[in-house]
Amino acid sequence: MKINKLNSIILLGLVAIISILVAQLLWTKEAFTIEQKKLSQKAHIALLEVAKKLYEGTNHELPAQNPVQKISNDYYIVNVDNEFEPEILEFYLKTEFKKMNITTDFEYAMYNCQSDEMIYGDYITLTKKKSECKKTVYFPKHKNLVYYFAVRFPNETTYLFSSMRFWFILSTALILILLIYVYSIFKLLQQKKYSELQRDFINNMTHEFKTPLASILIASKYLIEQKPIKEDKKLFTYTDIIINQGNKLNSHIEKILNIAKSDYAPLELNKESILIVPIIEEAIENIKLKYPEASLSIETASTQYLINTDAFHFGNLVYNLLDNAVKYCNEKPEIKIKITEESNCLKLEFNDNGIGINPKKISFIFDKFYRVQNEKSNEVNGFGLGLFYVKEICNLQSWKIKAENNPEKGVTITLSIPYKK
C-alpha cells in the first residue's frame, strides 16, 4: 500500500469518526433541550393543578389568566388570589409532582403581605437527608402580586443529565473510540517507520556483505583449482570449507534480501503445472549431500501428482523443511515424507525424530525472525527466516500449513494443497 493511499484512508476514517461524534453531540444537545421543555411542561401542569386545589372549597374562582409564570429555567411563581396554609401547599406540591413523575428535589416559599417579604417554606428532598441539602436563602419578591408562592428546582440540571444517561454513555463511547482510533493510527505509523528503518538497515547490511563475500568466493574457487592446493589434502579441505561456508552465508543473505523485498510487494510466483515427487526427491538428494548421515524416505501412492505452483519456490520450501528437521535432531536424523490424497486435497507430511518444540511456542515458529530457545538453538546457525519463508509461500497460494509434536518425539509439519486430478 502506498503511503499516500494509507494517509487518505487514515484521514477519511478520522473525518468520519469526528463527524459522527459532532452529530452525536448535537443530538445530545437537542435531547437536553427537549428534556428541559418536558420538565417545564410537567412543572406547569403540576403547579396549575396545585393552584386549582387551593381554590377548591372557597368562594373564589381561578383567574382566567394562567397563574403559573416561569421566571427562569429552575424558578416558578404561582399567583393564587386566595389565602392558603403552608402545610396544605406542601402536601399539594408533593402530590402533584409525584403524579407528573417529577422526582427531583424542590423548595418553596410564600409571600407574606404583612411583612412584605417571601417566607421560606421548606426543602423537599426525595434522595437525601435534609441535613445534607443546601437550601436557597433568597426568594425574590414580585410586584403586583398579593397571594402567591414560588418553587425552585435547585438540582434541575443534574436531574436532566441523569435522565439522559444513555446519550452521555453513547457520547463517551464514541469519544473513547475516537481516542483509540487516533492512538492506533499513531502506533501504526510509528511501527511503519520502524519497519522501514529496519528494512533499510537489512538491505544496506546485506548488500555490504555481498560484495566482499563475492570476492572471497571467486578467490576461493580459483584457489582450490591450483595444483599445490589439490596435492595438499589439508589445504584442499580448508579451502573447500571456505567455499561451502561462503555459499551458505550467501544463501542466508539472499534469503534476507528476498524477505525484505517481500515487505514491499509479495513474492512473484511463476506458476506452472509440475510433478512434485521429482522435486521432493531432488531436495532429498541435496540434503543427503549436505548431511550424509541423515535417513530420508518418501512414501507416496503415485509419482504423478501434478500441482500448479512455482517449481523454484516449491523446491526451496521442501528443502527448508527437510533442513530444519535434520538440524534440530540429537540422534541420527530420520525423516519420512508421506503424500496422501484426501477429498480434493493433497497432504504432504514431513515427520522427523528431532527434539520437538515446546507446545506453548509451536504456534510462533512461522513468525519472522523467531527462533525457539532450546538445547540446539546455540549450535544451529540461522536468522529465523526459513519457516517464515515457507509460510509466506503457502499463504501466497492459499495452502494450509500446521506443525504439531509427535506422540513420542519429533515434529510433523503438514502441508494441505488444493488438488484436482
Q: What is the pLDDT of residue 136?
A: 62
Question: At 218, which amino acid appears?
Answer: I
What secondary structure, in 3-state letters, does 134-175 show?
A: CCCCCCCCCCCCCCEEEEECCCHHHHHHHHCHHHHHHHHHHH
Q: Mean pLDDT of successive 10-residue segments in the chain (421 residues)?
A: 65 80 80 84 88 74 77 85 80 88 85 74 72 64 78 82 75 80 80 72 68 81 85 85 81 68 66 90 85 88 86 88 86 90 89 84 79 62 74 89 87 89 72
Contact yes or no for 177/159 (Cβ under 8 A)? no
Ramachandran angles phi, psi of 404, nearest 5°: -150, 145
Coil, strand or helix: which one is 413? strand
Which pLDDT score is estimated for 337?
92
Residue 255 confidence (pLDDT): 66
Contact between 304 and 275 (Cβ < 8 Å): yes
DSSP summary character for residue 406:
-
Predicted TM-score of the model (pTM) = 0.46
Fold (CATH) for 272-418:
Heat Shock Protein 90 (3.30.565)
Detail the DSSP E strand segments found in 48-164. Answer: 68-72, 75-79, 106-112, 117-124, 148-152
